[in-house]
Amino acid sequence: MLELKNVSFEVPEEGMEKEIIKNISFVIPEGKFTVITGPNGGGKSTLAKLIAGIQKPTSGQILLNGQDITGLDITERARRGISYAFQQPVRFKGVTVLDLIRLAKGENISISGACEYLSQVGLCAKDYISREVNASLSGGELKRIEIATVLARGTKLSVFDEPEAGIDLWSFQNLIQVFENMHREVHGSILIISHQERILNIADEILVITDGEVTSHGPKDEILPKLLGSSSAVNICDGRK
């Protein structure tokens, strides 16, 4: 279980402090699939970075299974069981896809074992397993390789920042299946930042962040109809409907 208690995050801007995350509190229950959504610039990626330990909150506490992890960095949080997939994945020159999956898994798994994770994300394993994780990979390929490494880790909490970004229409359904399988087979919590209705649709819970604050949080069946209703209201205002 992940718990955020009165978490705020400020950055300096023009000699003042700009508050990006404003006194946020919520709980992500064990084993639940939660999607964080909301308008652009609302603070979703910042929140994901605070959870992963890439950024430190200005105030407040982050607890993982009751233990305070606020002061821990990304490596220490990874050891405690948090995985994080970047919105724009990092490239690792000189490291092969096989090396990366073995590092993620934490053991020297066989090539066929590593290939299994690549197949799950829709990549033809034999074409990718020996390739370097460098600039020769496309954005979408890199994104899928990163998702494969998170699958290989199989941790208590997996955080994905807009996993659909750069994934083509034909592979999108495969991505949905990846998350559904992960939810069924990995008994940890999944936290996904997404704007995609099809990802929102497979969530247990939806959390909406607007202008640095939680504006809604609850079961998908309660929140999604409201979100879809409000988006059609915007379209009517815009005269597009």
Ligand X SMILES: Nc1ncnc2c1ncn2[C@@H]1O[C@H](COP(=O)(O)OP(=O)(O)OP(=O)(O)O)[C@@H](O)[C@H]1O
Give yes or no for residue 192 binding ligand X (CB under 6 A). no
In a 13 Å sphere around the CA of 176, the CA atoms on its Cβ side amount to: 14
- Give the three-class secondary structure for 3: strand
Regarding beta strands 2-13 and 157-161, do their DSSP bridges make them parallel or antiparallel, or are they unpaired? unpaired
Residues in binding contact with ligand X, number by CB under 6 A: 11
Give yes or no for residue 37 binding ligand X (CB under 6 A). no
Q: Closest approach of Cβ 108 to ligand X, in Å? A: 36
Instruction: State how far the Cα of 236 lies from the Cα of 225, in Å rounded to an integer.
Output: 17
From 4, 42, 85, 118, residue interacting with ligand X (rule: CB under 6 A): 42
Asked whether the beta carbons of 6 and 60 are under 8 A apart, the reply is yes
Give yes or no for residue 41 binding ligand X (CB under 6 A). yes
Among 14, 28, 58, 51, smallest CA distance to 218 is for 28
DSSP characters over 165-213: TT--HHHHHHHHHHHHHHHHHS-SEEEEE---HHHHTT-SEEEEEETTE
From 2, 4, 7, 20, residue interacting with ligand X (rule: CB under 6 A): 20
From 2, 4, 28, 45, residue interacting with ligand X (rule: CB under 6 A): 45
Give yes or no for residue 43 binding ligand X (CB under 6 A). yes
Structure tokens at 39: 């308008």
Give yes or no for residue 183 binding ligand X (CB under 6 A). no
Q: Closest approach of Cβ 52 to ligand X, in Å? A: 13
What residues between 96 and 125 interact with ligand X by CB under 6 A?
none
Give yes or no for residue 44 binding ligand X (CB under 6 A). yes
Question: Quick one: 32 or 44, whose CB is closer to ligand X?
Answer: 44
Give yes or no for residue 11 binding ligand X (CB under 6 A). yes
Q: Closest approach of Cβ 82 to ligand X, in Å? A: 18
What is the sign of the dihedral through the CA atoms of 65, 66, 69 and 70? positive
Q: Closest approach of Cβ 74 to ligand X, in Å? A: 16
Q: In this chain, which stretch among 35-43, 66-74, 102-110, 164-172 interacts with ligand X, using CB under 6 A?
A: 35-43
Give yes or no for residue 89 binding ligand X (CB under 6 A). no
CA dihedral of residues 197, 198, 200, 203 (deg, nearest 10): 170
85 has which bridge partners? Answer: 160
Residues within the interface to ligand X (CB under 6 A)? 11, 13, 20, 38, 40-46
